[in-house]
Amino acid sequence: MPTDNYRAIELLSRTPYGRVSASRRALPFTTVARHLVLDGRLVLRLHQGYGYHQALDGSVVAYEADNVNSGEDDTWSVQFTGTARVVEPTPLERQLFGSSPRLADGAPYAPVFLRVEPEFVTLHYLTDVPVFRGAHSV
């Protein structure tokens, strides 16, 4: 695995959540997911109640996580692109994920898991990022 891929995986370990994106009936969508990197593969936990896992299973997806709004001087963004498959995690993998959220949009959170085989790993840095103190509207 190239050095940038190792760096990307190390950065992903600094944040527990990111966003997975794909298309559903040719329309793009993005949802939040918890992630782990295990043996060079990405394992995601998301809410089954959204039904997104059905569109993601067998599809090429992009998963992105970052440290935006962390207050750090340098901002990084990692993107994994690859094919996702619904999987049943091992008991150890479930333990590594930790507790699930209690609710998702007011309904009990029901976890579903996906494994992403990365085809491409992209790492981007922004250096000396200015700090903004809130949203600006025009």
Residue range 27-64, pLDDT digits in tens: 898 999 999 998 888 999 999 999 899 989 999 999 99
Per the CB < 8 A criterion, the answer to whether 87 and 80 are in contact is no
pTM greater than 0.85: yes
In the prediction, which pLDDT does 110 show? 96
Which residues have CB under 8 Å from 107's CB, separation 6+? 49
Give the SS3 label for residue 113. strand
